[in-house]
Structure 1
């Protein structure tokens, strides 16, 4: 059995999603979730999603309850522009129930990209353009060949241009934020806010920051950027050092109120912060995370994970947090005995909370480390009720088989009994 109150800290009922306003969230405890599976996730090496697959994933993301769907990069190709427009038309106008997500797409800081982006998303109920330009010294010098003054002028003018088209929801992303000079960051962010930006996306583009550093960066931007109180601070963390989720959580504690994530953590190189990890960390650790909450319907997590795994071809590693095949599996005898007595001993959340309904009711995986209690329960699931000497004899025969096999299957157990 579960005692859910002991698992989910600070979870409150009847906390409605605030009415959407681009640059303001009426409840300071509410955290927006931007899913970029369809854009940054598709940039994973070897991943190509068809228009049909992208549309199906977008519908699933709407059911999941994400606040913002980053649907793609229209300037990349005409087919990409068309699928973004289709998502804006179908998913961005409420065909998945009451929740209508913001439909966002990416654009470099130039008029051609912004024109294509606006054309693709303007039919959505809540359209957004996310425009970006690099702000780190190494990028400005070696990639852009632009001075700081030129980058500031370009960023501000392109944000203003997007506003002039009729887009009142503009996110600005200083690419490679974490390797950018602080005073320059404060200056350029202040200028794009003047130009009309409503969200500022702080990107750990190359996954170089550690959690303490990233949290301090968010705090410093919040404390030193002119006009920052009039926009939403967002995080966009990559996983090159394996800390994207940790960085994202540090960012939200430090004042960010939009978190950019992907299903299964897919994305460029080592991937992005994982939606399921970030959302369930906030749900499970609400008290220590300042009573923050999201609008995600977590019961749709497993379905979204399996859909993205299937369409992307990016297999989820068995020990992946939350959605891996082993996330709720128990093989050690000590652990098995504990969960059979009380699930809370070794499971910090109910699998049903993420939409996982196990055919293996006990959640046990039998192997050489399993004990008598686990074997008895598995046999009961298969319709065999043994105790005393019979169970003891079966147990030692089971142990001898388990020494030669990684996992004992149901068929193995039925053969053991029949023999």
Structure 2
């Protein structure tokens, strides 16, 4: 986004205000999980990175105790009275996310001031790129930074915003999204153990290739129900293994144990994906440390095939867009990302072939599905941060 345009939009949206104090500008990225899908709740590793697509925020203090929330992406605006209880209201829509942050900050003893806030994002909503985590992390960082905090613990922000999403919004999410948004770094991905929060930064320098995000524009209607179903199936496998030895999660189990103790074919395939995917994450880090982008791209494709055949969470649209991507000139690897059954896939494509790639994949995908996809060429960037913008 053009930050000068965003500055103009803030002045336009709050033109009725007489205060002319300084405005502070911030950015919070979306995230993509490069490999390691459906692994976080199975005790393994994930491999996310922060995206150049994200949400911008602008804040200016007021003289009263009201926080006004507006967005260029929605007509609805919400005003919060800091002197009154803050509760979740379905009719407040997107504004419930910042409301949850504000309530939790107040509950934790932060003395918040009244302010005008404007958001503007280029993250496609509901596409699996973590627009909700980006917004939660952004609001938390904005309010604390604007209030004078400078040495902000970003791991603590990830934990804080996960709590808000779990308790105020009512979504039982893990911590991967918030962690990647808060802790992202330019041109690196994060090897993250979601259980311990131990992490390692790994170079993600693509050289002649670019990361292309392919939005199927298929709503992820089955994602939540199938997510719960897959979690239950994985827990069933762990319960079977526990009859023979103590184990805490599926990623602690070997395929030889699955072959020996698990008779149900569906459960065997679910376990096969989890164990092989966790191994792919480890190998991915080794390959990227050596600068082997082609080797990493091959792992991406293997990951998608496993999610399709063994875990069964892809669906017609994701399979179609990945298959056509892999057939296009310049593409060296592709996979679905996120919960599945719609949302986004990612591809590594030779930068010189990107425009042709988008045209060919869109045509073939539309022929099969009737849907027109969107493409985003994204770079890997730093996590949530203040922008150096002069008033």
Higher RCO (CA-CA < 8 Å; seq separation 6+): 2
Give the TM-score normalised by the residue count of structure 1.
Answer: 0.25
- Point out the structure with max Rg over C-alpha: 1
Give the TM-score normalised by the residue count of structure 2.
Answer: 0.26
